[in-house]
């Protein structure tokens, strides 16, 4: 799969985007962004009901899975559960990074 991604030229796209917007392109790790509830912060694999549906088992929040992941990325909540999350899956408030608003070009 890795070769298939490389064959599509994603590296070149990232390089050109960085060239057009220096300092504004960030690499975001994708793991666990779609498993974390953007409403309460709970991380649970069974919250992902299907490819497109997210229903939090802790608070009942319902959302499109991609939208939920995008909100987590925008909020800077992309840490892995074993490293920076407490028991129960919530992230410590001091671990969240500030994220600047996207710029329209």
Query: What b/e readout covers 69-99, taking b as 16+ CB neighbours within 10 angstroms?
Result: bebbbebebbbebeeebeeebbbeeeeeeee
Structure tokens at 27: 């690499």
| Residue 29 pLDDT class (50, 70, 90 cuts) | confident
Residue 34 pLDDT exceeds 80: yes
Residue ranges of E strands in the chain: 53-55, 62-64
Contacts of 52 (CB under 8 A, 6+ apart): 64, 65, 66
pLDDT in tens, 44-98: 999 998 989 999 999 999 999 999 999 988 887 665 555 444 444 444 444 444 4
- How many Å apart are CA 101 and CA 87, to the nearest integer? 31
Structure tokens at 83: 């490293």
DSSP state of 51: S
Per the confidence metrics, is the pTM higher than 0.75?
no
């Amino acid at each position: 799969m890795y070769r298939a991604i490389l064959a599509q030229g994603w590296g070149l796209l990232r390089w050109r985007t960085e060239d057009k917007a220096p300092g504004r392109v960030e690499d975001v790790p994708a793991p666990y962004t779609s498993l974390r509830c953007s409403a309460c912060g709970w991380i649970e694999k069974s919250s992902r009901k299907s490819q497109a549906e997210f229903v939090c088992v802790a608070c009942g929040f319902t959302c499109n899975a991609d939208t939920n992941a995008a909100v987590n990325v925008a909020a800077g909540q992309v840490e892995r559960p074993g490293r920076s999350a407490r028991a129960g899956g919530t992230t410590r408030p001091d671990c969240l990074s500030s994220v600047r608003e996207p710029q329209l070009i």
